[in-house]
Structures are given as C-alpha cells and as structure tokens.
Copies of this chain bind each other. A is one copy, B any other.
Amino acid sequence: MKRYRNGEIWDFEQQVSGENGGGQKLILGLDGGTTNTVCICMPIIPFTPNHHHSPPVYARAVAGCSNHNSVGETAARETLEQVMAEALSKSGSTRTAVRAVCLAVSGVNHPTDQQRILDWLRDIFPSDVEFFVENDSVAALASGTMGKLHGCVLIAGTGTIAYGYTEDGREARASGAGPILGDWGSGYGIAAKALTAVIRAYDGRGPQTLLTRTILHELQYSSPDELIGWTYADPSWARIATLVPVVVSCAEAGDQVANDILLHAVQELASSVKAVVHRLGLCGKDGNDSFPLVMVGGVLEANRRWDIGKEVISCIAKDFPGMLPIRPKVEPAVGAALLAWNYLIEQSQQDHSEADYN
C-alpha cells in the first residue's frame, strides 16, 4: 500500500491496535458532490437492509468538493483519500479491515473516469478489496432502494437530474445539463423565473406579483432594478437558488405568478422522470409495472404546504400507476455502502450455491 505523497494521511494506522475489536470487516461508502463529500464506515454484520431499520454506521467523515471538473484531479483525489482515512481512523480501523469501497462521485460520467479512479484506488488499498466507482446519483438511488440498483432517482436541489437503472444493467438520464440548457425544474430555475417575473412586472411586461415585495425584502433592496446588480455580481447558481423558499411562500400566500412558476417546475421535473422511465421501459409494456422512484434534494424535500415533491409524484403517478415513491431515510453515503453490501451478499450466496452444487 502506498503512503500519500503530500501528507501523512495514513500515519494513524500505526497507532491502531487490534483492528476495532478483532478483525471486524468494513465497507466504506462515499458520496462526493460539488459542495461536500461524505464518507461512512459500515461494519459487515448480519442485518436485513429495509426502511425500518437503519443500517449500522461506525463512523462518518465530511470534507469539501471532490468533483474533479471543479477542483482538478489532484485536489479531488486528496480530498477523497483524506475523508476515507478519517472515517477509518474514527472507527478505530485500518485499511486491512476494508472489504469493499464504493465511491459515488459527481463528475464521473464516462468509463474512462471510472477506470482512472479504480486504478488509483487499487494503489491505496489491499489487493483483495472490492471497488465500485459510480456517479453520485447512483448513491442517491441506492439510499432509497437500500442498495439495489433498480428504478429511477430524481435529484432536485440547485440543479436537477433524473437517473434510471434496470435490473439488467441498462441506464439512462435526463436533464442535468445546467440552466443554459434548460434545467428549469431546478432550484436555480425556479428562482431565476421568479426574478424574471419581478423584472417583467416592473417593466410593465408582466402581471404584478407578490414576489416583488418579498424578494426585495429578502435581499434588502428597495427597487427591482437593483436586482440586476445583485444577479450579475456573482451569478453562482446556488446563490440564486436560495430564493426558492421565498417563491414557495408567495405561492402559499395565493400569488398566481409564484404558483405558476412552481406548477411549471413540477411539470419539468416530472417530464425528466417520465423520459427516463420510457426509455428504460421501467413501467413495463402495459405501463403498470412497479418501480421505485427515489426523490432527493432540497426542492423535493422542503416539506412545505405547497409541496413540490408531492405534486411531482402525483403528476408521474397519472402515467405510471406502479411507481413507488421513496424519500430516503439514510444519506447517499450510506446508499453507496449498501450498494457494495448488496454485491457482497449476492456474491457469497452464489459462492454457497456453487459449493452446494459441488
């Protein structure tokens, strides 16, 4: 095993005695996003993953961005290695206890991305460790399906994407192309439409709306033309998306413009899911087959009286009555670990049946 060239990341292993009470084998599950990266350490002990019992978690570590498109490959790898070491250290274990690692990282889109990370992981861990490298949406799906890669996940936070998987390994996505390319159901999309509505009302190009007063109050401005400066001073998508709760409040207060913006977002989000379900045939030939739809992200989880997530579900249910909506009870890093767990279980069952046969 290598030592990280720029630091002493794995030095703690020399202080660990007896490997967490006698060789308990572990899985590392990692969810790496553009905002932060979470790694959890799960023991391989007998339990049945389901929605009533949380999977056991020994330790949890958090770090910053690990998307190589955002921070570059070197910084991304350093973050990933550090957060894994911290999770192991916190659980009183070393790399020799690790049985499997599942890394679900945003920015992993092509087999070449996967291969580069796999090669790098093999250099860090013992040779008998199993590795899984996936896009972070896979962890989100697995957090709702308890590790099973089947169904569709809809993520709607600052951005939005729909991802789907079939049991025979096919996958498809929709949206996730950013605001210029029309992700209008996202938090950014909702907020940008609200800002536009304020400018239109001010110009006399659109109806008056409660959004004007509420957004100006939120940002502590007195005139809509000041919004131009605010918007372009730092056009970060996440900063603009922070206005979503204001839009929801206005819709709840009966404002028609805000209500229409949310209804439009619901249509957009539902259409992403429908496109994925159709392409993969998740609904079966008659459209009635059962499949899980995992809902993740601030826009879907806000749990307000005007409930965007609930509306998206009822919009999709009209087309696909067999759809089973799931709001995950565990975080995506746990989903990543469960994905590896499922694989190990299946493999050991296969080994047993082969042993029975022989």
Contact = CB atoms under 8 A, between A and B. Distances in A.
- Copy total for this chain: 2
Contacts of A276: 204
Interface of A: 173-175, 177-182, 192-193, 195-196, 199-200, 203-205, 227-228, 231-232, 235, 240, 271-272, 274-276, 278-279
A313 B174 CA distance: 38
B231 A178 contact: yes
Contact of A175 (B203, B232, B275): B203
A277 to B, nearest CB: 10
Contacts of A271: 205
21 contacts: A174-B205, A175-B203, A177-B227, A177-B228, A177-B231, A178-B232, A179-B180, A180-B195, A180-B196, A180-B232, A180-B240, A181-B195, A181-B199, A182-B195, A182-B196, A182-B200, A203-B272, A203-B275, A204-B278, A205-B274, A205-B275
A97 to B, nearest CB: 39
A200 B232 CA distance: 27
The 4 lowest CB-CB distance pairs between A and B, nearest first, are: A182-B196, A204-B275, A174-B203, A205-B275
B228 A199 contact: no
A181 B279 contact: no
A247 B173 CA distance: 26
Interface-centre pick from A181, A199, A227, A275 (highest chain B CB count, 10 A): A181
Given A174-B205, A180-B231, A204-B278, 9 more contacts: A173-B203, A177-B228, A178-B232, A180-B196, A180-B232, A181-B192, A182-B200, A204-B279, A205-B271
Contacts of A200: 182
Given A203-B272, A204-B275, A227 B181 contact: yes
Contact of A174 (B173, B177, B204, B278): B204
A205 B270 CA distance: 10
A178 B228 contact: yes
Contacts of A228: 177-178, 181
